[in-house]
Amino acid sequence: MSTDDLDDYEAQLELQLYKEYRDVVGLFAYVVETERRFYLANHVDLKAHNDAGDVYFELTLRDAWVWDSYRSARFIKTVHVLTFKDVNIEEIAKSDLEPPTSIRG
């Protein structure tokens, strides 16, 4: 397998993943980004912990979907993440999922 073949394969996986994301995003309430993964979820619980001056985050997601092209199953019942890095959580506004009026026709 050549480098070009591998690049084409990875590009195809990424495109399939994007299409799946586009199809499922409307099923979820939150977008969650950690240092390692990107998730969609319907329930998010974030707790900050301070341990001897070090701050870390404990994140629990329920009814989730994970952006990972190498996973065979991206729908996950429960995700538990511990991280010292930033966690970004955004509520998905359902109006964001609708195309602008000028595009709807």
Report if residue 99 sits inside a domain.
Answer: no
pLDDT recorded at residue 104? 47
Can you give the pTM of this predicted structure? 0.79
Report if residue 76 sits inside a domain.
Answer: yes
Report if residue 29 sits inside a domain.
Answer: yes
Structural domains in the chain (count): 1
| Encoded amino acid at 55, one letter | V
Q: Which of left, alpha, beta for 53 (phi over 0: left; psi -120 to 50: alpha)?
A: left
Percent of the chain with pLDDT over 70: 90
Domain that holds residue 64: 1-89
Mean pLDDT of the region 53-64? 96
Sheet holding 75-83, edge to edge: 75-83, 54-66, 38-51, 30-33, 88-91
pLDDT recorded at residue 5? 74
For residue 87, count other CB atoms closer than 10 A to its CB: 16
Report if residue 105 sits inside a domain.
Answer: no
Report if residue 33 sits inside a domain.
Answer: yes
Backbone angles phi, psi at 18, to 5 degrees: -60, -45
